[in-house]
């Protein structure tokens, strides 16, 4: 490994940095009245645990260490940290036949295995996992919960951590719903690895941060006018679902579109005119649903789906839209129509953005065995359709036709509310019309959507969030992104 100045560093010194970073995180959250039990393996993760034990002892914590000795050989760094343990710290071998061995501890630290585990834990390791999980004690994992695979589906025994403190970057496994019960609340600490080295490392999976997303954002120029800030068409709404059209339209405008036209059924004319006065309207011949696609030549991008319903009479409009060859955002009921007519996936113009939630994704891509299998299906769908696919949810994933996947760092559970996806559709359509590339529009749109939701939750409470709040806080999200 290398420091930020690219000077080589010994592994034992890098381990000391990791231990210091972990302990700094720990002492900020748990005071020294908490008796700590650290369960170590004999590899480098166990070496981390021993270093943490020494440092916590220096901070005045009452620390006891159990060492789980199995087939894994002691590493040099484990032995080095073992020799540094002060006499005040009790160190004993883990014996599975003993009961309630953790009864006098308030917090347990899992340092048995790191991310190098290649097969499910067995024997004494599995017994240790079971005893930790059954103890009822709060558990903090070092780097990754023991037993959890970082880059593939996990089976067998896994530590159920309340907190996971990992180094430099999150593991892929942290970002999937199936592993939340193991990982708990995860936190990343900096141990001083070269940022240039990390940036230049070969990868296909990326975790979005404000620093990387900020570089994408365009800035208005002095002589800009509405005509060169993008012209977008939104095809949205049906009887009883005009709210979706309103939300998507207002979001598109707040995201900076120069000119917006909304194609709606007749029933929605007065609604749009009165609630979104900044938008122009195009009215479908049908009273309650969309049945036609208006002329598209004057538009830079088109969004379709929010609230349109799944009536078969809408299908011709969708087919005509595909023939127009414009950059598209396809969401909600438009995706459900695609799910019922999967042959249309072959007709998608190159460079579309598809925005399914998990159920909509399942209708298009089929079922999956686990979340890693779902990721493979996501990458395959993006590659085969030549479209960017945004799979919505916690850590929303953005797959590109080149096989890259970007995981979002913004957003919160309060955004799991009706209309949130319609807001995202409006934002994405706006960015596409403003001539962002399809990948940049997706990344910027997803990040800002989540950031606006975070700011809204901070101001209003996560428990009471509604989709309109996300639109309200979009201007603040733009400001925050620029400031970061």
Encoding tokens for residue 382? 């993006």
* pLDDT one digit per residue (tens) for the chain, 484 residues: 334 444 567 899 999 999 999 999 999 999 999 999 999 999 999 999 999 999 999 999 999 999 999 999 999 999 999 999 999 999 999 988 778 899 999 999 999 998 878 889 999 999 999 999 999 999 999 999 999 999 999 988 999 999 999 999 999 999 999 999 999 999 999 998 877 666 667 789 999 999 999 999 999 888 998 988 999 999 999 999 999 999 999 999 999 999 999 999 999 999 999 999 999 999 999 999 999 999 999 999 999 999 999 999 999 999 999 999 999 999 999 999 999 999 999 999 988 999 999 999 999 999 999 999 999 999 999 999 999 999 999 999 999 999 999 999 999 999 999 999 999 999 999 999 999 999 999 999 999 999 999 999 999 999 999 999 999 999 999 999 998 6
Q: Are residues 75 and 179 in the same domain?
A: yes
Q: Are residues 85 and 226 in the same domain?
A: no
Domain assignment present for 421 = yes
Q: Are residues 192 and 275 in the same domain?
A: no
Q: Which domain holds residue 324?
A: 210-483
Which of 171, 200, 229 terminates a domain? The answer is 200
What span, in angstroms and rounded, lies between the C-alpha atoms of 335 and 424? 15
> Closest Cα partner for 128 from 105, 156, 94?
94
Q: Are residues 326 and 475 in the same domain?
A: yes
Q: Are residues 449 and 311 in the same domain?
A: yes
Domain assignment present for 89 = yes
Domain assignment present for 6 = no
Q: How far is CA 479 from CA 219, 458, 468, in A?
A: 12, 16, 18
Question: CA 35, 39, 42: angle at the middle one, nearest 5?
Answer: 145
Strands 397-399 and 280-283: unpaired
Domain assignment present for 53 = yes
| DSSP-assigned beta bridge partners for residue 186 | 164
73 neighbors 42 (Cβ within 8 angstroms): yes
Domain assignment present for 4 = no
Domain assignment present for 1 = no
Question: E-strand spans in 214-258?
Answer: 231-235
What span, in angstroms and rounded, lies between the C-alpha atoms of 227 and 433? 11
Q: Are residues 188 and 214 in the same domain?
A: no
Q: Are residues 406 and 435 in the same domain?
A: yes
Domain assignment present for 129 = yes
Q: Are residues 39 and 140 in the same domain?
A: yes
Which of 200, 234, 250 terminates a domain? The answer is 200
Q: How far is CA 342 from CA 144, 308, 321, 430, 468, in A?
A: 40, 18, 16, 27, 33
Q: How far is CA 214 from CA 134, 229, 398, 447, in A?
A: 45, 19, 17, 10
421 neighbors 236 (Cβ within 8 angstroms): no
What span, in angstroms and rounded, lies between the C-alpha atoms of 115 and 187? 15
What span, in angstroms and rounded, lies between the C-alpha atoms of 261 and 51? 62
Q: Are residues 189 and 40 in the same domain?
A: yes
Q: For the chain, what is the domain count? A: 2
What span, in angstroms and rounded, lies between the C-alpha atoms of 236 and 223? 32
Q: Are residues 322 and 368 in the same domain?
A: yes
- Among the residues of 289-437, which ranges form H helices? 315-324, 332-340, 358-365, 371-385, 420-433
Q: Are residues 263 and 192 in the same domain?
A: no
Output the domain CATH number for residue 232.
3.40.1190.20
Which of 200, 231, 253 terminates a domain? The answer is 200
Q: Are residues 443 and 311 in the same domain?
A: yes
Domain assignment present for 3 = no
Output the domain CATH number for residue 21.
3.40.50.10260
């Amino acid at each position: 490994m290398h420091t930020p100045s690219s000077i080589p560093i010994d592994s034992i010194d890098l381990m000391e940095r990791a231990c210091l970073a972990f302990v700094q995180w720990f002492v900020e959250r748990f005071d020294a009245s908490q008796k700590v039990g650290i369960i170590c393996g004999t590899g480098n993760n166990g070496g981390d645990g021993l270093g943490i034990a020494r440092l916590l002892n220096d901070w005045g914590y009452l620390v006891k260490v159990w060492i789980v000795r199995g087939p894994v050989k002691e590493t040099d760094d484990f032995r080095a940290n073992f020799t540094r343990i002060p006499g005040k710290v009790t160190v004993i071998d883990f014996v599975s036949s003993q009961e309630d061995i953790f009864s006098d501890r308030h917090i347990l630290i899992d340092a048995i295995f790191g991310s190098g585990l290649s097969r499910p834990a067995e024997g004494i390791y599995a017994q240790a996992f079971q005893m930790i999980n059954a103890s009822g004690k709060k558990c903090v994992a070092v780097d990754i919960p023991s037993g959890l695979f970082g880059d593939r589906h996990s089976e067998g025994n896994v530590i159920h951590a309340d907190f996971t403190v990992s180094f430099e970057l999150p593991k892929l496994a942290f970002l999937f719903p199936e592993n939340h019960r193991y990982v708990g609340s995860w936190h990343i600490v900096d141990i001083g690895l070269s940022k240039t080295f990390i940036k230049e490392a070969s990868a296909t999976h990326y975790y979005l941060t404000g620093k990387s997303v900020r570089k994408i954002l365009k800035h208005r120029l002095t002589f800009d006018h509405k005509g060169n800030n993008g012209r977008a068409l939104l095809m949205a709404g049906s009887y009883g679902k005009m709210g979706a059209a309103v939300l998507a339209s207002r979001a598109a405008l707040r995201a900076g579109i120069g000119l917006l036209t909304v194609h709606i059924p007749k029933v929605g004319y007065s609604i749009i005119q009165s609630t979104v006065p900044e938008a122009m309207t195009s009215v479908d011949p049908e009273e309650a649903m969309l049945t036609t696609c208006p002329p598209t030549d004057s538009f830079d991008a088109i969004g379709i789906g929010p609230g349109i319903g799944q009536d078969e009479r809408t299908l011709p409009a969708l087919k005509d839209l595909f023939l127009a060859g414009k950059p598209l955002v396809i969401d909600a009921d438009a995706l459900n129509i695609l799910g019922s007519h999967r042959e249309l996936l072959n007709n998608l113009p190159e460079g579309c953005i598809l925005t399914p939630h998990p159920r909509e994704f399942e209708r298009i891509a089929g079922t999956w065995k686990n979340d890693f299998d779902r990721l493979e299906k996501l990458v395959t769908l993006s590659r085969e359709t030549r479209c960017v696919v945004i799979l919505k949810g916690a850590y929303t994933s953005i797959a590109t036709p080149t096989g890259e996947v970007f995981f979002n760092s913004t957003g919160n559970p309060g955004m799991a509310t009706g209309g949130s996806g319609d807001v995202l559709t409006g934002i994405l359509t706006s960015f596409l019309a403003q001539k962002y590339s399809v990948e940049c529009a997706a990344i910027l749109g997803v990040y800002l959507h989540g950031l606006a939701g975070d700011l809204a939750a901070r101001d209003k409470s996560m428990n009471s969030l509604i989709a309109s709040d996300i639109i309200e806080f979009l201007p603040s999200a733009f400001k925050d992104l620029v400031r970061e």
